[in-house]
Amino acid sequence: MILTVDVGNTRIKSAVFEKSIILEQFVFDKKELQKKIEIILKKYPKTTDLVVASVGNVSKDDFLAFGEDIKINFITHQDVFPFQNRYETPHTLGIDRMVLSAGAVLEFPNQNRLVIDAGTCITYDFIDDEDNYLGGAISPGIRLRYESLHNYTAKLPLLTIENPEDFIGDSTNQAIHSGVVNGVVNEIDGFINQYKERYSKFTIILTGGDAVFLAKRLKNTIFANSNFLLESLNHTFQYKIKND
């Protein structure tokens, strides 16, 4: 068994895998890390490897504390990946984006792929049908947009995600919901349409915490999987074992 751990900007997500099957998944705050990992390992004592991808501010020592019981594997830029990194600044490319791209290559071989991760930030990553990672885009996610409107204005309220009643907001709250939600939806559809102008055919993978909410609202056909990063961590680790 393998325990994958994704340390994001706001939360930690993890899953226990038996080969390629998720047995159970977990979401918790960073301050709960050690306690939660202990509970998971007690529940799944046959776990042999802990696989970590981190973009959040969590010390490696927090994971190394479990090193007596299982093998600790940090996915880093030095690992082997199933694509050629054509990013102009390859070492600044986030590990989470690299893992997502690896998962897209391994799960959807021999095709163009666009991975959209709708989390704290919305990231776009494009890998062509020859397995070249070409780059993408980064923009604020839904929660960041709500918080920015509240934090950088004098009177706008802090709202939580809600589907706007109409694109013409008839109150301040509805105007904010329309601006945030419709803004994100139109952004994503707009990016997809730009890719369509350059590439005749490609697979679109939508993941992240807001994937389910957004999937119903997008005009373009997508493959929505909120667990794609955890699954990609497992795929990347298996690829690493075979190719190291």
Q: What is the pLDDT of residues 186-236, one digit of tens each?
A: 999 999 999 999 998 999 999 998 999 999 898 877 889 989 999 999 999
What pLDDT score was predicted for residue 64? 81
CB under 8 Å to 6, separation ≥6 — which residues?
12, 13, 14, 53, 54, 96, 229, 230, 233
Distance CA 204, CA 19 (A): 25
- Over residues 118-145, mean pLDDT: 96
What pLDDT score was predicted for residue 33? 85
| CB distance 224 to 116 below 8 Å | no
70-92 tens-digit pLDDT: 898 899 999 999 999 999 999 99
pLDDT surpasses 90 at 30: no
What pLDDT score was predicted for residue 185? 96
> pLDDT over 70 for what percent of the chain?
100
- Over residues 145-166, mean pLDDT: 94
Q: How many Cα atoms within 13 Å fall on the side-chain side of residue 171? A: 5
pLDDT band for 68, please (50, 70, 90 cuts). confident
Instruction: Please indicate whether residue 61 is annotated as part of the active site.
Output: no
| CB distance 126 to 112 below 8 Å | yes
Length of the chain: 244
What pLDDT score was predicted for residue 100? 97
Domain locations in the chain as residue ranges: 2-74, 109-233
| CB distance 90 to 135 below 8 Å | no
Q: Give the CA angle between residues 98, 100, 102 to the nearest 5°.
A: 70
pLDDT surpasses 80 at 244: no
| CB distance 207 to 188 below 8 Å | no
CATH of domain 2-74: 3.30.420.40
Residues 109-233, CATH architecture? 2-Layer Sandwich (3.30)
Give the number of other Cβ atoms within 10 Å of residue 39's Cβ: 13
For the chain, how long is the longest CA-to-CA vector? 59
**Catalytic residue (one of 29, 69, 79, 96):** 96
